[in-house]
Each structure stands twice: as structure tokens, then as C-alpha cells.
Structure 1
Amino acid sequence: MTKLLVRNEEVLIHAAAARELATHTLLHLPHESCGVLLGTAAAGSIQIEKFHPIRNVAPDPLHAFTFHPEEWIKFCLHPERLVGIVHSHPHSQPIPSQDDLTKLNGYGQLLDAYLICSPNESSNSIIIHSYRIIHPSFHSKTEINDNFRLLRTQLTVT
């Protein structure tokens, strides 16, 4: 059985960052929107202090997201405050798709939190689901599990 490195971390998002995320998500409907989450990850919690949008350059932005390479690389080169990413599912629930999980293997090592949001059809707001990124570890000296996983966690707006 594969051993997973799991930390019981609380995920907090500042109210201003949550508002910016909601505005950005609703503004880009019906397309998927995406961005990075800046903050700190220490002492048992992930604190999201700022949302920074990144342009979605996916060939089919109605059903997928791809970060604009130049905008994304700026954060990868200076990951000190990079704690996570976020994208929207404009036409479905904020639950990771198989494509989300596949893409996570390309950059999961840089991140602690993964947020997915969807429009709330009964109001002009969004539903946000928060996930902790579970980093893979060695199963044995000869076998490596290189798949990152997402574990749903509580998101608290502060």
C-alpha cells in the first residue's frame, strides 16, 4: 500500500481574496477562469491572502483551463508565497475532474491548496470547494507512486 504524506491543515481565505475570486469567476462565465493563490502554509494551516488571476488559454475554455505560460512561470520562478491554484467549473459542481487530477501531477509539488469554484445558480455568487494536495511518497525502494491526490477540506473565510 502506498504511504501518503497527509497534513491536517486548515485552509483559510481572506474575505477580500474570496470576493476577488468570485468577481473574476462570474465575469468570465461561461468560460472556465483560473488563477493562483498567494499566502502562507505553516503551523498547521494554509492562509490564502491574495487571489491573482491568470488568463485561461485553453483551446476549449468552456470546458478546460490552461494557464497562460508567461503569467504562470512568474509564480513558478518565485514560489515563496505560492500556496495554491484555483479554477472554475462553470457548468458542473466544484469537484475535481480526471483532467484536473492528471494536470496536478505536473505542478502539485509546488502547491498546498487547490480550490475549485462553480456559480451558484440561485444567486449571483459562487460555491468554493477546497482541497489539500496530498503529495506522493515512496512505497518501497523500487516503487514510486508519482500521483498527487486531492483531499476535500473545510474552507474558512476570514
Structure 2
Amino acid sequence: MRGAAFPPEVLARMIHHLEAAWPHEGCGVILQGEHGEGEEGPWRVVPLPNVSPTPRIAYAFAPDAWLRVCLEAEIRRETLVSVFHSHIDTAATFSAEDRRQAAPGGVLLLPGVSYEVISIHGGRATSASSSQWMDGDFQGVPIPLPDFRFEKPL
């Protein structure tokens, strides 16, 4: 699972955005560049606006923002690594709705991409999971969340 392998600063930026979005679900993507000759390059966390009509229980990327991220990633030679979002006052598990959006009708929309879900209670991240498509369904594992409260601001 990819999520557990993110550098601490990537997790911190993701958590910061999701906590700031509370009491609504926050969302975004994580991209990774390349240095050349197949070497992994720098990470980029891109928060996206949640335009869901029910933002406390669902997320949806703004189509224009999503298109802009995709075009920028192509120019910068970045790979989409992860889609992330928060769940408000509930478990950090990949829900039936999450599955439906990521693989409508069982057709995976973003092959090779992991999905990180962070549970936010009272504006603070409390738990997280990473899910990836394996053997025809999403399989998830917990992600340990370090406490970033005492580190310098991002």
C-alpha cells in the first residue's frame, strides 16, 4: 500500500488541508515527479475544492480544477499517486460511495492510484486508511498518523 510510504511532510500537508476543510469533507490529490531515468522525484500535494452538493458526507472535485491539475501534471511530468479525502465524524474506511465513485460499475477509473481516507473529528485528524484496487476490489490498510501539532506551520 502506497499511503504508509508517503514522506511525513506529504502526510502533514494532506492532514492540514483536510482539518482546515472541516466541518466539510476536504479532498485533493498527491502527485510525484521524476528525476529522470525512472528515479522518483519530488512530491506535490494539491488540495482541490469540494463541490459536492452534500459536502459534509461526500466529495467531488471541481471539474475545472481537476482538469487544471491534470494538464499541469502532464507538463511537469508528474504521476498521479493518490486521491485523498476526509470523512467527518465517522471511520476512515473506504465507503461504498467511495468505491462507487472510484470504480463505477466495477470499472476502475484511475489504475495504480491509492485512495487515502482521513477521519476528522472536531476538526482534528484521528485515523487514516489507504485503499488500493487488488483482485477486483479495493483493499485497505490503516495508516499511522503522526502528531504534527507541535511542528512548525506549513
Q: TM-score, normalised by structure 2?
A: 0.71
Structure 1 residues 71, 30: closer, same or farther in 2, change over 3 A? same
Q: Aligned partners of 2:116 and 2:48: how far apart in 1?
A: 14
Is there any run of 5+ residues in structure 1 with no aligned partner, and where? 1-7, 41-45, 137-148
**What runs of 5+ residues in structure 2 fail to find an aligned partner?**
34-39, 146-154
Contact 2:82 2:115 in 1 (8 A): yes
User: Equivalent residue for 1:72?
Assistant: 66
Cα distance, 1:49 vs. partner? Answer: 2.7
- Please tell me whether the aligned partners of residues 48 and 83 of structure 1 are also in contact (alpha carbons under 8 angstroms): no
Shift of residue 74 of structure 1? 2.6
Contact kept, 8 Å, 1:35 with 1:85, in 2: the verdict is yes
Answering whether residue 153 of structure 2 is matched by residue 153 of structure 1, we say no
Q: Which moved more, 1:83-92 or 1:103-112?
A: 103-112
| Cα-to-partner distance string for 1:71-91 (whole Å, 9 max, x where unaligned) | 112334446421110010012
Cα-to-partner distance string for 1:81-122 (whole Å, 9 max, x where unaligned): 21110010012101122111110025633442110001256x
Output the aligned Cα RMSD. 3.2
Query: One-letter code of the match for 2:15?
Result: A
Q: How many residues align?
A: 134
Name the residue aligned to 2:129.
129
Say yes or no: does 1:13 pair with 2:11.
no
Aligned to 2:100, what secondary structure does the other structure show?
helix
Change (3 A) 1:58 1:124: closer
24, 36, 40: which one pairs with 2:17?
24
- Deviation, structure 1 residue 156: 6.8
- SS of the residue corresponding to residue 54 of structure 2 reads coil
Which structure's relative contact order is higher, taking Cα pairs within 8 Å and 6+ residues apart? Answer: 1
C-alpha separation in 2, matches of 1:21 and 1:91? 18
* Among candidates 38, 50, 54, match of residue 56 of structure 1: 50
User: Post-superposition, which runs of at least 4 consecutive aligned residues in structure 1 deviate over 3 A?
Assistant: 8-11, 75-80, 123-126, 153-157
User: What TM-score, normalized to structure 1?
Assistant: 0.69
Q: In the alignment, does 2:31 pair up with 1:38? A: yes
Separation in structure 2 between the aligned mates of residue 84 and residue 47 of structure 1, nearest angstrom: 15
Partner residue of 1:86 out of 84, 99, 112? 84
8 Å Cα contact 2:94/2:140 also seen in 1: no
